[in-house]
Amino acid sequence: MDEKLSKVDPKLLDLLVCPLSKSRLSLNRETNELISQKAQLAYPIRDGIPIMLISEARKIED
């Protein structure tokens, strides 16, 4: 794992939901993103801060 990637507080991860679907998120450590399976979106984490904007999310391709 890249040392430059910052860790996100696990308590924060428990509180966050997808702003589009309101579903729970899972952490993908390889891409440093929060994943919403229901909305098929990946939200980036920059400097340890989840960017929870739909406009910043990456669409997950099947």
Residue 2: pLDDT band (50, 70, 90) is very low
Q: Where do the structural domains in the chain lie, given as residue ranges?
A: 10-59
Give the position of tokens 């990637």.
Answer: 5
Q: How far apart are CA 3 and CA 36, in angstroms?
A: 25
CATH number of 10-59: 2.20.25.10
30 Rama class: left (phi>0) / alpha (psi -120 to 50) / beta: alpha
User: Is the confidence at residue 3, as pLDDT, over 70?
Assistant: no
pTM: 0.84
